[in-house]
Amino acid sequence: MAVKSTACALAPSQGLTYPHPMTLPAPNQRLSIAPMMDCTDRHFRYLVRLMTRHALLYTEMVTANALVRGRDPQRFIAYADVEHPVALQLGGADPALMAEAAAKGAAAGYDEINLNIGCPSDRVSAGRFGACLMAEPKLVAEMVHAINARLAAHSRPIPVTVKTRIGIDHQDSEAFLDDFVGAVSAAGCATFIIHARKAWLSGLSPKENREIPPLIYARAYKLKRDFPQFTIAINGGIKDLGAAAEHLNHVDGVMIGRAAYDAPYALLAQADVQLFGDTHTVLTEAEIALAYLEYAGRELAQGVKLHAVTRHAMGLFTGRPGARVWRRALAEVNGNPEPAEALKGLRALVTRNVNDLTLNLREELAA
């Protein structure tokens, strides 16, 4: 039988004492875009911000070692000011190194530091971070405490949050999750993003770990009931705003991953209206495409490969007329020896169709 837990009751059982831990409110978690490797780089985040002003954005996971000891740490934490609110996700298991990496993130202007305690890949587990750390709540708490202590001296301290699973392998009881949250919260973490599946640390690929373990949303709902003082967001298998709104009846926030990457406009165009009550004008796919291509041109002028930017827009027109033509045109950008001409062709493609697309969409929104 699961034991209803509280942070105060659980901390002593873990042998942890963190007098007066610094706990800062995290940015609004009502809707966020999940950190995804090879997906949520600064270019995709810029694209998303053209569609939603309010969703919280996350970087790809950055290892503390790469950020602190890498040759070019700036490439891991570069972002545009328009991306705010934006969070830096870190991976690691050394409290001192994580604290140093977090300090770099705070100095760069990020709004939140998030710890990856949910990735189940073999490579991540071999580095002793990700989901395997659910088995070491004391170490996770030490990292949170070390980061908070380092950031307390910063002129702009920022909150530390944790993204995790409901369990790992055969450690997947309600009490296991409650104990983990209780121990980590005692160190000064008040926001937990829960992927509502457990992770198998061996035998499944990361993709299989996103699909095979069953989703148990009720576990995250119960966590919110057991810890009402904390911000609890839910993640996993959420594919539209209707489902997001339903989850928000039970938890504080919803994090969406693959659905947002595969069809960003279809998912996010109405997010500010439906989830935040913001009535600003919604741009059409074509208008967003043109704005994003202008951004791509600026990046190209700075030496960035065009495909590195445009690859994130493959799903922009999903479900709309011309989607296949758009995807084919983007695919042809890769390896094109004349990227400036390729960009000009993309702009022309959108411009030829912008009036029809704008008219069609505005008619649908008015219906």
Please give the DSSP secondary-structure letter assigned to residue 65.
H
3-state secondary structure of 360: helix
Q: What is the DSSP string of 209-254?
A: HTTSSPP-HHHHHHHHHH-TTSEEEEESS--SHHHHHHHTTTSSEE
CA dihedral over 199, 204, 207, 211, signed as positive or negative: negative
Please give the DSSP secondary-structure letter assigned to residue 40.
S
Q: Which residue of the set 8, 39, 119, 132 is catalytic?
A: 119
- Let me know if 119 is a catalytic residue: yes
Tell me how far apart the alpha carbons of residues 277 and 148 are, in angstroms, rounded to a whole number: 33
Tell me how far apart the alpha carbons of residues 37 and 209 are, in angstroms, rounded to a whole number: 15
Tell me how far apart the alpha carbons of residues 327 and 255 are, in angstroms, rounded to a whole number: 26
Tell me the catalytic residues.
119
